[in-house]
Amino acid sequence: MHKFGISIYPEHSTPEKDMAYISLAHKYGFKRIFTCLLSVAGDKEKVINEFKTIIAHANKLGMEVMLDISPRVFGQLGISYSDLSFFHDMGAYGIRLDVGFTGQEEATMTFNPYDLKIEINMSQDVHYLNNILDYRPNKSNLLGSHNFYPHRYAGLSFDYFVKCTERFKNAGIRTAAFVSSNEATFGPWPIMEGQSTLEMHRDLPLTTQVKHLLYSELLNDILIGNAYASEEELKAMGELLTEQKFTLDAYLYDSITPLEKIIVCDEQHFYRGDVSDYFIRSTQSRVKYKDEIFKPTYTPQIRKGDILIENEGYGQYKGELQIALKDMVNQGKTNVVGRIKEDEIFLIDYMKPWSKFQFNIIGQINHP
């Protein structure tokens, strides 16, 4: 089961605003909260009490608060890795180690008497996880999460992200990564040019980032790295939690017929199992509507990301819906009825045979 989360930065906001944001996220099914305790500047007692107030509010809603810390904070607060009562007293679900120890300490911490979760950094393709596993941790209390990158161009490449994530996935460790709200204005640092794990996500809509991570089937949890996401973003992201189908944002062309619109929008679609390199086929509509007429309408050359319905020129194939995976020659026998939104076309490469899918129609446009 996936969990979605938000991030809060109490040093840059107020407890009232943070608690209101937590309540809003909870309303849309969010479960996790990331926050930083990387420095305790100013009045330590005041900072800690504000954190406690916010965490208590989150706990009442059944949300899980993870505190991001570093060994330096252990020193500042006089905390030993063998005694995590400080974080338990704050009400935290667990701690995330921004910088790790040697492996033995992390393993020891997973046996803390409070069952606090110990989350480690996933964004380095090194043997750090193996070192911890060699010391036989309590794996049920060990989690992993990627970093986020507020600096443009500093985010992870997807190939590297996959390598790092598979290391944790193969070890059976719960995983998480960050996406970036397009409406949020701040993070933990003065620079905030988006706050995603992956560089390719930086300027994409929030829901597209989330779909990519969900459809890659690599992660358990996804958190918004910056604050505050809008209610519209939280609602749209929350809806993906309960959506069981592969969903693609798409436009319809104004040349689409009423029957073709029914096929695109209302029929159940699944990716036929005998796959082609050229298109994703959903064939049930050609069976259901085999006696209907499908005249040629808009039949241009086909581009990757086009939504297609075969017309009567293709005989028994008429009425079949397809999504183009490659550019193709159109012999006039295929109606181009719509198009996947440009920034989501790359998602079709993640659809697998027998996947159930649907279109989220975001508008109707004139064809070129």
Give the position of tokens 């926050």: 35
Pseudo-torsion of CA 131, 77, 56, 19, nearest 10°?
-100
Interstrand relation of 269-270 and 356-365 (parallel, antiparallel or unpaired): antiparallel
Q: What is the mean pLDDT of residues 136-157?
A: 97
Cβ neighbours around 241 below 10 Å, total: 17
What are the tens digits of pLDDT across the range 65-112?
Answer: 999 987 777 777 788 888 999 999 999 999 998 777 788 999 999 999
CATH architecture label of 3-243? Alpha-Beta Barrel (3.20)
pLDDT of residue 6: 98
- CA distances (Å), 155 to each of 123, 211, 229, in order? 10, 18, 20
Mean pLDDT lowest for which of 96-110, 165-179, 228-242?
A: 96-110
Q: What's the chain's average pLDDT?
A: 94
pLDDT confidence band for 129 (50 / 70 / 90):
very high
Interstrand relation of 176-179 and 321-324 (parallel, antiparallel or unpaired): unpaired
Collapsing DSSP to helix, strand or coil, 107 comes out as: helix
Q: What is the mean pLDDT of residues 257-276?
A: 96
Q: Which tokens hold the place of 75?
A: 């020193």
Express the helix, strand and coil content of the chain in percent, nearest 5 each.
35, 25, 40
Q: What is the pTM of this model?
A: 0.94
Q: What is the mean pLDDT of residues 34-54?
A: 79
pLDDT higher than threshold 90 for residue 282: yes
Q: Which tokens hold the place of 252?
A: 């319809």
- 247-365: which CATH topology? Cyclophilin (2.40.100)
CA distance 277 to 221: 31
What are the tens digits of pLDDT across the range 298-331?
Answer: 999 999 999 999 999 999 999 999 999 999 999 9
pLDDT higher than threshold 90 for residue 45: no
pLDDT of residue 42: 61
pLDDT confidence band for 46 (50 / 70 / 90):
confident
pLDDT higher than threshold 90 for residue 259: yes
Q: Which tokens hold the place of 3?
A: 């969990």
Q: In CATH terms, are 3-243 and 247-365 the same topology?
A: no
Q: Name 106's Cβ contacts closer than 8 Å, sequence gap at least 6.
A: 97, 100, 118, 120, 132, 135, 137, 142
pLDDT of residue 367: 80
Amino acid at residue number 86:
F
Q: Name 75's Cβ contacts closer than 8 Å, sequence gap at least 6.
A: none
Give the position of tokens 């009490």: 49
121 phi/psi in degrees, rounded to 5? -75, 125
Residue ranges with strand state E in 11-160: 32-36, 64-69, 94-97, 117-121, 142-145
Q: Where are the domains of the chain?
A: 3-243, 247-365
Three-state secondary structure along 221-241?
EEEECCECCCHHHHHHHHHHH
Closest CA to 178 of 210, 141, 215: 210
pLDDT higher than threshold 80 for residue 199: yes
Q: Which tokens hold the place of 216?
A: 């890659």
